[in-house]
Chains A and B, each alone.
Chain A
């Protein structure tokens, strides 16, 4: 079965600083999803990557999928308190079935 490892597990940054979260898969990624979760709440969809080398951006968040499709990174530029939360990467198993495997999450705190 596929496993996703996220690093770091937690991160505390000063407001305005940049940061990167990594997600490494034990198998080739067919679809890689990034979600954000506020504690105890539902997941908010951020971005989805499918092609090797693909990069997507939304506001100050950029996600990349490496050429070999086994690692993805999420980069936040000029962090703000509103970026605080838990970031989760999820992998599609490539069968077309809607069953995602998730990493353990990265808890981000942004200090004003």
Chain B
């Protein structure tokens, strides 16, 4: 099976702009979670989507949003970008069966200038 894919891999934006990142989960996985990784805060949970519904959300401002499509692909959007949003954004997919191990994609490196 193909792994989790994320596009784009690298992105440069300026403050105030908005950005959309995409994630395609492993085939058959219906749960998609998003994480932000920064040197200062480490790896932090953003939100999780399952069957097109957000069922869990981390402690991030409303500028961070996401959605999931019927084919389980997910997008996350960050509006009004700030310098502090520069980070590696990781997507993970998991099956709803068993322990639900999360498998991560390669990430999207976002730089905000």
Residues of chain A touching chain B, judged by Cβ–Cβ distance below 8 Å, are 31, 33, 35, 40-45, 48, 50, 88, 90, 92, 96-105
Bin chain B's interface residue count: 20 to 34
A96 touches B100 (CB 8 A): yes
A98 touches B102 (CB 8 A): yes
B48 touches A97 (CB 8 A): yes
With contact pairs A97-B48, A99-B48 given, residues A45 and B103 touching in the complex (Cβ less than 8 Å):
yes
Q: Please name all residues of chain B whose beta carbon is closer than 8 Å to the beta carbon of A44 when the two chains form the complex.
A: 104
Residues of chain B touching chain A, judged by Cβ–Cβ distance below 8 Å, are 4, 31, 33, 35, 42-45, 48, 50, 55-56, 58, 88, 90, 92, 94, 99-107, 109
Q: Please name all residues of chain B whose beta carbon is closer than 8 Å to the beta carbon of A101 when the two chains form the complex.
A: 45
For the residues of B in contact with A, the DSSP-based class is strand
B31 touches A98 (CB 8 A): yes
B107 touches A98 (CB 8 A): no
B105 CB to nearest A CB, Å:
5
With contact pairs A97-B56, A98-B33 given, residues A50 and B45 touching in the complex (Cβ less than 8 Å):
no
B56 touches A98 (CB 8 A): yes
Expressed in whole angstroms, the Cα–Cα distance for A100 and B33 within the complex equals 9
Residue from B31, B102, B104 having most chain A Cβ neighbours under 10 A: B102
- For A100, give its contact among B45, B105, B107 (CB under 8 Å): B45
Q: Please name all residues of chain B whose beta carbon is closer than 8 Å to the beta carbon of A97 when the two chains form the complex.
A: 48, 55-56
A48 CB to nearest B CB, Å:
6
